[in-house]
Chains A and B, each alone.
Chain A
Amino acid sequence: MTVIDAPATGPDWSSAASNANRRRRYAADRRLRIYGLTAIIIAVGVLVILLATVLTGGASAFVQTRVTVEFTIDPELVSADNIQRGNYRQIITNAVAELFPEIADDRTALTAAGRILTSNAQFFVRDAVVADPSLIGRTLTLAIPASDPFDQLNKGTIARDLPEEQRRVNDRDTALFDQLVDRGLVSTPFNWGLFFNADSRFPELAGLRGAIIGSFYLLLVTLLVSVPVGIAAAIYLEEFARRGRWSRLIEVNINNLAAVPSVVFGLLGLAVFINFFGLPRSAPLVGGLVLSLMTLPTIIIVTRAALKAVPPSIREAAYGIGASKHQMVLHHVLPLALPGILTGTIIGMAQALGETAPLLLVGMNAFLTAAPGGITDAATALPTQIYIWADSSERGFVAKTSAGIVVLLLFLIVMNAVAIFLRRRLERTW
């Protein structure tokens, strides 16, 4: 038995040295707090700046300048027998001449005035007439998107006080456009085309439809490949594999795989899937396979962690009443690990959704004016579409790029919200 001898006099807690010591410790506490707070403020500040830039830059792309024009569908120009092949260009010219009677005889001025409207205006009219042939011989009122320079002029991105020779639009055309504004023919409705149009060379018509559908197919392939393979691999490694040199080797390699730069996976996809297996280029199938390779390590690591987190008592309980291994895993361990697996999977998918470099290498940055119809059609994805737009010189694509980023971020936020929601739901029932 040991007896601790209490010192005759205890420490003097009120001495100056003791007080100073305490003050120092409190000061250190405060400093640590301030460091943490500063770090958070910096992180949040950077995030706010990023979001603010993207949002302010992209905001103008969410509305579209439209000019309301009356078109006279002259039966001489469009015959009811062949609506598709009518002379719609002339209809547009006539309509513009009607809009500006004062320049109706000046062909050059008229052509220039026609450029206020998007150069695809004739197809808007054609589609309307095809949809309703009874319009032939009557007038049709349509709000046609303004061409990019006038769209920018209307949105104020083109400064009117610049010297004329440095401006995209000259004084005469500006005056004509202002005349339309004064007559109340110019409106700026929400730009649904941003979501429902495919890509286009004309910024006023370019939309994300192809990219959204492409990303959807891409994620579908990624999900279908990486989730079953990843979960099965994780279950094997965690529940079946004997711990040994081989399992350690595999584990190290999986962890390394997670750290491989994505562009390398792109090269691999190019070499293996396209060159060796001969799969189609630019297709979501190939892109999805490449992204699966990237997502696999994440899913395997997350799933293993989730399986490991299931208490051993549950495994023993299942074994104890004679459950076989697959029953133990499928009935008890996997359902308990599911919230974790699900969150990991969705985070992996979100990563895949934002991945650009490997897609560039497998050719998913093609310029396509039609949305893909399946996983083997050529397609773009949201991030590559943003990349394409960012690379385009027209003024309108600047805002389009930011708008594309906003849409991508929205998808990511929705995916993460779903992950959180599902996680909460599943945790409550189990």
Chain B
Amino acid sequence: MEQLVAPTSKMGVDVRHTGEAGTTEIKVSAQNVDVFYGEKHAIKGVSVNVPARSVMAFIGPSGCGKSTFLRCINRMNDTIEGCKVTGNIRLDDRDIYDANLDVVELRARVGMVFQKPNPFPKSIFENVAYGPRIHGLVHGKADLDAIVEQSLRKAALWEEVKDRLKEPGTGLSGGQQQRLCIARAIAVNPEVILMDEPCSALDPIATARVEELIDELRQNYTIIIVTHSMQQAARVSQQTAFFHLGILVETGSTEFIFTNPHDQRTQDYITGRFG
């Protein structure tokens, strides 16, 4: 078992790897990231490393900037006017804020699942097929059918919808819609999947299904999940990063953060003293 410890908090700081694995591949690496919404300094000097093929949870009280930071990783913040990001974020060794980087390609490589299930108001099939089609990943109908089936299977939705692929995706239940959104994200075969509170609009049973799914997906994908629920973070993630007031307070293995946090604020949050 690997263990990541963040000794100091405020500066974010690199993650120290210990344990048998020793050399963990780092998928996403952020150094001194600041985000401004106009005058507002939303993220202050966050540095974090996300290991490949694992689940990292971002936790923290509302408005702490965890979603904002998540949206920096696929440059979704570009779409918000007045938002400025400084610092360095690397996907494999590539600076994603490099002027030469193609945002469309980045977003194909870094998929995203949103808080509220947002399937396109098209058929289930079209929802999943859209990504591969626009990126030119498929050649021919059979190919597309295969990708759609494979993605829906990976999202644990195939059995429920295989007989009604032509029906609108918006007609599914909330939990199914969210899994459809996950299927849509993995259809373009991303390397990283960002999940912004994917279960906050779901009932406990649907939440359990999505959590199971996240656990399976981590074998192939790097997943970063923002969650309000500490239980969820504890259940699904291997790494946890705790944000507070735009600062990354502490990061480390989930087990470590939940049992033996270094920082008093983490301790207070985990034990429910605020947040």
User: Taking beta carbons and an 8 Å cutoff, which residues of A are in contact with B?
Assistant: 242-243, 311, 313-324, 327, 331-332, 336, 430
Residues in B whose Cβ lies below 8 Å from that of A315: 79
Given A321-B130, A323-B134, A327-B134, the answer on whether A314 and B118 have CB atoms closer than 8 Å is yes
Closest-CB distance, B98 to chain A (whole angstroms): 17
Further pairs besides A322-B105, A336-B121: 17, Cβ < 8 Å: A313-B118, A314-B118, A314-B121, A316-B79, A316-B112, A317-B118, A317-B184, A320-B107, A320-B111, A320-B113, A321-B111, A321-B112, A322-B108, A322-B131, A322-B188, A323-B130, A332-B120
Distance A315 CA – B130 CA, assembled complex (angstroms): 14
Q: Does B185 contact A (CB under 8 A)?
A: yes
Distance A321 CA – B119 CA, assembled complex (angstroms): 12
The listed residue (A311, A313, A323, A430) touching B104 by CB distance below 8 A is A323
Q: Does B124 contact A (CB under 8 A)?
A: no
Q: Does B16 contact A (CB under 8 A)?
A: no
Residues in A whose Cβ lies below 8 Å from that of B93: none
Given A242-B81, A313-B114, A327-B134, the answer on whether A320 and B120 have CB atoms closer than 8 Å is no
Distance A321 CA – B184 CA, assembled complex (angstroms): 8
Q: Does B135 contact A (CB under 8 A)?
A: yes
Which residue on A lies nearest to B184, using beta carbons? Answer: A321
Residues in A whose Cβ lies below 8 Å from that of B131: 321-322
Given A242-B81, A320-B111, the answer on whether A430 and B119 have CB atoms closer than 8 Å is no
Contact A319 B120, beta carbon cutoff 8 Å? no
Distance A33 CA – B259 CA, assembled complex (angstroms): 65
Interface size class of B (residues with CB under 8 A): 20 to 34
Distance A317 CA – B121 CA, assembled complex (angstroms): 11
Contact A322 B107, beta carbon cutoff 8 Å? yes
Distance A141 CA – B188 CA, assembled complex (angstroms): 79
Closest-CB distance, B74 to chain A (whole angstroms): 7
The listed residue (B114, B119, B135) touching A322 by CB distance below 8 A is B135
Residues in B whose Cβ lies below 8 Å from that of A313: 114, 116, 118
Q: Does B181 contact A (CB under 8 A)?
A: yes
27 chain-A/chain-B pairs, Cβ below 8 angstroms: A313-B114, A315-B79, A316-B79, A316-B112, A317-B114, A317-B118, A317-B120, A317-B184, A319-B79, A319-B107, A320-B107, A320-B185, A321-B108, A321-B134, A321-B184, A321-B188, A322-B104, A322-B105, A322-B131, A322-B134, A322-B135, A323-B134, A324-B134, A327-B134, A331-B134, A332-B120, A430-B121
Residues in B whose Cβ lies below 8 Å from that of A322: 104-108, 131, 134-135, 188
Main secondary structure of the interface of A (DSSP, over half): helix
Q: Does B76 contact A (CB under 8 A)?
A: yes
Distance A317 CA – B134 CA, assembled complex (angstroms): 14
Residues in B whose Cβ lies below 8 Å from that of A317: 114, 118-120, 181, 184
Distance A313 CA – B196 CA, assembled complex (angstroms): 13
Residues in B whose Cβ lies below 8 Å from that of A311: 118
The listed residue (B113, B120, B135, B185) touching A314 by CB distance below 8 A is B120
Residues in A whose Cβ lies below 8 Å from that of B108: 321-322
Q: Mark B77-94, 1 if CB is under 8 A from A, else 0.
A: 001010000000000000
Given A324-B104, A430-B121, the answer on whether A331 and B130 have CB atoms closer than 8 Å is yes
Closest-CB distance, A182 to chain B (whole angstroms): 71
Contact B104 A316, beta carbon cutoff 8 Å? no
The listed residue (B76, B134, B187) touching A316 by CB distance below 8 A is B76
Name the residue in B105, B120, B187, B188 with the highest tally of chain A Cβ atoms < 10 Å from its Cβ: B120
Contact B79 A321, beta carbon cutoff 8 Å? no
Q: Mark B46-72, 1 if CB is under 8 A from A, else 0.
A: 000000000000000000000000000
Residues in A whose Cβ lies below 8 Å from that of B181: 317
Contact A319 B76, beta carbon cutoff 8 Å? yes
Closest-CB distance, A67 to chain B (whole angstroms): 63
Contact A320 B81, beta carbon cutoff 8 Å? no
Q: Mark B123-135, 1 if CB is under 8 A from A, else 0.
A: 0000000110011
Contact B120 A243, beta carbon cutoff 8 Å? no
Distance A319 CA – B114 CA, assembled complex (angstroms): 11
Name the residue in B106, B130, B184 with the highest tally of chain A Cβ atoms < 10 Å from its Cβ: B130
Given A242-B81, A316-B114, the answer on whether A321 and B121 have CB atoms closer than 8 Å is no
